[in-house]
Amino acid sequence: MDVAIVGGGPAGQAAALQLAAAGIAATVIDEQPRAGGQILRQPPSAVAVRDWLAGRSYRALKAQLAAFEDCNAVTWRGGTSVIGLSMNEDGAGLTLADGSGVERLHARHVLVAAGCHDLAVPMPGWTLPGVQPAGAVQAMLKSQQMLPEGATLFAGTHPLQLIVAAQLVRAGATVAGVHFAQPLRRFATWLSPAAAIARSADLADALAALATLRRARVPVRFGSAISAIEGAMRVERAIVDGVPIACDQVALCYGFVPQSALPRMAGATMRAAGPAGGFATVADDWMASSVPGLWVAGETTGVQGAPAAACEGAIAGIGIAQTMRAFDLREAERRAAPFRAAYVQHRTFAAVLDRIADPRDHFPPIAPDTIVCRCEAVPRAALAGGSANAVKLASRCGMGLCQGRNCEPTLLRLLGAPDGPGFTARFPARPVALGMLAGD
């Protein structure tokens, strides 16, 4: 096989389409059964959803998704996890797992466009049933039209919570409030001419979301920080600015962290991803990582949003095709030019969003008995030692099912070393049954 693409979101789709335009077939692997990524999380094919993702900012992405799904040069491998990635002179060795077994795949080039996940934010009570990352609430809404029961309180620093709260209201759910820990003046940069022009659709969606929330009389507060979540068996109230607010669900939204397990496993050079933490894969102008044959695009290279991801994916696809001598460097530059131009604008907006959403001064306090590693139930008080690996060995923090994906940013922050180094990446990226690995 020539090209494997990990991730069927905007970046992976854009790369596959550019490769197809160069006459190169690609296999696209995704954990979800259908393409779209988190941003265009599709309902199961048996479910019809009216006005699925009707917002303006989704239009271009939906058009790309339709082209991708119609593309004959793409072999789609949905419902499949890439649990291992190793690189050698011949290219990439991928270990795939789906419901039926484990399979080894070899590709001359692999593009990891694996997206991002919500930053987990520990605080007293955050492990109670009913506490979720806002991204998970949105994924349930997008793919299943499932609404949380009762009233949902949103808290954090990332503007996405406005969008998700409005989507809940429009779908008929109750929102108890949207609380931004940072002051309103931090949002002023959004109105700067550069940012507004770069992404007017997003600004329009945000303003529409605000209007929706206002009509529904949902309080939207700024400089309003959550400090704890309480309840006997599940969420009953959130403590915001020291005052209890009754609610049934809490959706936390402090930012997003790149999926970094596979590039780290493959030994790629990483860098600190940004204010929310985590690690981004370092890439050159053509989205090649430091490891020959391994390419990266989208949030894997740093969280910049779906339009920027699509640009990076297209550039990566063109770069791979050029490396495979589908055309010369000059033609590659010609094809990439519009994506490079658009990317600059999206990047400007992403930088503005990063400044607005910067959670670093606004993380809730973590008590000594607050769980930091959910998988292994490790409280803050148990975290002692020098490096992240040493703390992991001494405390079991990061030794559980999620492989430290969720606790790593918090641990590094508590160690006073937010830029790492983090945990050594270990196989497998997702848990997999022993019998499947043994070839049963």
Partner 1 sequence: MERADVAIIGGGLIGCAAAWRLAQRGARVVLLEAGEHNAGASGQNAGSLHFQLERRFLEQGEALAEQAARIATLNVLAVADWRAIECELGADLHVSMAGGLMVAETREEVALLEAKAAREAAAGLAVRLIDGDAARALAPYLAKSVIAACHLTDEGHADPRALTPALAAAARAAGAAIREGCRVEAIKTPAPGRFVLRTAAGGVTAAQLLIAAGAWSASVAAMANIHLPMVPVALQMNATERIAPAIPHLIQHVGRRLSLKQAHAGNVLIGGGWPARMAVRSDGGFDLARRPALSETSLAGNLRAAIDVVPMLARLNLIRTWTGTTAITADQLPIVGPVPRLPGLWVAGGGSAFTLGLTFARLIANAMGGERVRELDLFGPARFDHLNSFMGAA
Compare residues 38 and 95 and give the one whose CB is closer to partner 1.
95
- With contacts defined by CB under 8 A, name the span among 111-119, 125-133, 186-194, 400-408 that binds partner 1: 400-408
Is-contact 297 313, C-beta < 8 A? Answer: yes
User: What x/- string results for residues 173 through 202 when contact with partner 1 is judged by CB under 8 A?
Assistant: ------------------------------
Q: Could you say which of 62, 221, 396, 413 contacts partner 1 (CB under 8 A)?
A: 396
Contact flag: residue 437 with partner 1 (CB under 8 A):
yes
User: What x/- string results for residues 38 through 77 when contact with partner 1 is judged by CB under 8 A?
Assistant: ----------------------------------------
Q: Could you say which of 129, 244, 386, 421 contacts partner 1 (CB under 8 A)?
A: 386
Query: Min. distance of Cβ 299 from partner 1 in angstroms?
Result: 24
Return the half-sphere exposure (C-beta side, CA atoms, 13 A cut-off) of residue 66: 6
Kindly tell me the sign of the dihedral angle through the C-alpha atoms of 27, 30, 31, 34.
Answer: negative
Other beta carbons less than 10 A from residue 356's beta carbon: 18
Query: Min. distance of Cβ 7 from partner 1 in angstroms?
Result: 22
- With contacts defined by CB under 8 A, name the span among 52-60, 138-146, 319-327, 396-404 that binds partner 1: 396-404
Question: Quick one: 134 exposed, middle or buried, by C-beta within 10 A (0-12, 13-18, 19+)?
Answer: buried
Nearest to 312 by CA among 6, 2, 10: 10
Contact flag: residue 99 with partner 1 (CB under 8 A):
no
Contact flag: residue 338 with partner 1 (CB under 8 A):
no
Q: Could you say which of 50, 104, 217, 325 contacts partner 1 (CB under 8 A)?
A: 104
Is-contact 47 145, C-beta < 8 A? Answer: yes
State the number of binding residues for partner 1 (CB under 8 A): 31
Contact flag: residue 400 with partner 1 (CB under 8 A):
yes
How far lies 21's CA from each of 111, 294, 322, 437, in Å? 17, 21, 12, 36
Is-contact 319 288, C-beta < 8 A? Answer: yes
Helix (H) or strand (E) holding 82: strand 81-88
Q: What region does 231 belong to: left with phi over 0, alpha with psi -120 to 50, or beta?
A: left
Contact flag: residue 431 with partner 1 (CB under 8 A):
yes
Query: Min. distance of Cβ 100 from partner 1 in angstroms?
Result: 14
Is-contact 296 319, C-beta < 8 A? Answer: no
Strand 256-258 versus strand 116-118 pairing type: antiparallel
Contact flag: residue 374 with partner 1 (CB under 8 A):
no
Compare residues 15 and 112 and give the one whose CB is closer to partner 1.
112
Summarize as ranges the residues that interact with partner 1 (CB under 8 A). 84, 86, 93, 95, 104, 376, 385-387, 389-390, 393-394, 396, 399-401, 403, 424, 426-428, 431-435, 437-440
